[in-house]
Amino acid sequence: MNQTCHLAPINLSDCNQLESLVEHRRIFSLKDCELNIFETFHRCDNVHLSYSGLVVSSMMRGRKIMTLAESEEFDFLPGESVILPEGVSMNVNFPDADERHPVQCATLALDWNMVNKNLEFLNMNYPDIEAPFEWKLNFDRYHFLNNKELAASISKLISISMEESVAKDALADLSLKFLLLRIIQTQNLAMIQETALPEHYHLSPVIQYIKDHLAEKISIDKLASESCMSRSAFFHAFKTQLGISPLEYIQRERIQKAKYILADTKVSITEACYQTGFNNLNYFTKLFKRIEGVTPSAYRG
């Protein structure tokens, strides 16, 4: 549903001056957070990694094959992130790495006491008034795509970590609250992509209504009615839970459906435009490019 947003690779060093071709590391330390930038210039297998605290890891370049505990292995690619609780170890393979195609990954290790305090702060000062009534991390959804909101918050914290400013710990403290909230919102967005939403999830009727009526005009008033909320309460609940407005969500769902329709080369781009609820081809093309990074015709190839 979301455009996959990549973090820009960081130019750290000349590969001729590396101390190690496997997981060469630069460390940037903050009061409650440690940023590790890893680079790998050599194909290798069974590299074992573990951290203390909450781990937020984002791929910037190349490919890893990761296995966590007893889970199945998965490709870890640019535009993706994982979160791990303390004590979970990772087994990593680098099948494609070489000096011309290094693998780069940014890993934030966050102090658990700080994480818990920030979650308590969010729940106390900005409580979610709708089910499930709590801001919390979901470690069943540890691997997810970066949307633009999450990518921006991770990039901001990386930038702060690399600063020389005497105020960077204060800036990082504010950014960490923002990052935790963005991770939770991203996990919520990933959840509603599933075909079967939990019955207790309060936005389930709204999400299903949107999916069933993408080709039609969808009003905020109708969505609020489906959710049994006032217009203002619905808008606030939706954006708080998912990090984007109802209109942004509808646009992303329509573009996702358009991609599916465009897979059929017998269907014209104009037909895909109208079948997904757009009534202006130029607007559809501009929105498609903004979300997917390419025009519909370029996407179709």
CATH code (residue 58): 2.60.120.280
pLDDT (0 to 100) of residue 104: 93
Which of 193, 220, 247 terminates a domain? The answer is 193
**164 & 233 share domain:** no
**286 & 247 share domain:** yes
pLDDT (0 to 100) of residue 22: 63
- The parent domain of residue 145 ranges over 1-193
**110 & 238 share domain:** no
**122 & 240 share domain:** no
Considering the domain boundaries, does residue 198 fall inside one? no
- Tens of each residue's pLDDT in the chain, 301 residues: 445 677 877 766 544 454 555 668 889 988 888 999 988 988 988 888 777 889 999 999 999 999 987 778 899 999 999 998 877 888 899 999 988 888 999 999 999 999 999 999 888 888 765 555 678 898 888 888 888 888 999 999 989 988 888 899 999 988 988 899 999 888 888 777 655 555 556 788 888 899 899 999 999 999 999 888 899 888 888 888 888 899 989 998 999 899 999 999 899 999 999 999 999 999 999 999 888 888 999 988 7
Place of tokens 């990039």: 155
**173 & 284 share domain:** no
Q: What is the pTM of this model?
A: 0.70
Considering the domain boundaries, does residue 199 fall inside one? no
pLDDT (0 to 100) of residue 131: 54
**146 & 54 share domain:** yes
**1 & 84 share domain:** yes
For 72, residues 6+ apart whose C-beta sits below 8 A from its C-beta are none
